[in-house]
Amino acid sequence: MVKILGISGSLRKASFNTGLMKAAASASPDGVEFGTATLHGIPLYDGDVEARDGIPEAVTALKQKIMAADGVILFTPEYNNSMPGVFKNAIDWLSRPSADIAKVFRGRHFALAGASPGNFGTILSQNAWLPVMRTLGAELWSGKRLMLPRAESLFDQDGLLTDTDASDRLRAFVKAFADFAAAKSGN
């Protein structure tokens, strides 16, 4: 059984990317255990807080989920032609203390997916993640990227993916990444 973790980079209740992550979990093929996570409860990174209080519980819980996964999909929104600050902030926390970078990121398989109201999906956000993931030593899957443009036409008002073509593309993306992660992890 290959374990995939999806992380939504949006805090909004009816987020397109949270909806995309939930649709991915529902569409996972046989032999894939698909867990989900959000960024709720992760505070803004502050080195003084880290020194005084240590790593927040929400960060520790997310680290454990990542370390238990064979592969991780970042469901990233695109804000102002880049990654969302709240998502980058979470990754910054996950890399603390720096000794944890190897346990959380190094050699772990990551993929990028996203939905956006814009005409180009999340291509610029996904591109912005590339140097961050390389710096952390993550193994970024380059087999496919999933970018869904004009997301308001693909999701209903509750954030549920309703478009058949987008659902088919998502299902193929998840299967291909799960197959890749399984082959690389020996599952």
Please report the pLDDT score of residue 51 as a whole number: 96
What is d(CA 183, CA 21) in angstroms, rounded to the nearest whole number?
22
Choose among 109, 111, 112, 113: nearest CA to 139.
Answer: 109
Token pair belonging to 49? 């807080």
Q: Which domains does the chain have, with CATH numbers?
A: 2-185 (3.40.50.360)
Checking if the pLDDT of 187 tops 70, the result is: no
Checking if the pLDDT of 67 tops 80, the result is: yes
Choose among 38, 120, 125, 145: nearest CA to 77.
Answer: 125
Checking if the pLDDT of 185 tops 90, the result is: no
Please report the pLDDT score of residue 148 as a whole number: 96
Cis-peptide, bond into residue 97, ω within 30° of zero: yes
Please report the pLDDT score of residue 184 as a whole number: 79
Please report the pLDDT score of residue 145 as a whole number: 82
pLDDT in tens, 135-163: 999 999 988 889 999 999 999 988 899 99
The model's pTM? 0.96
pLDDT in tens, 172-184: 999 999 999 999 7
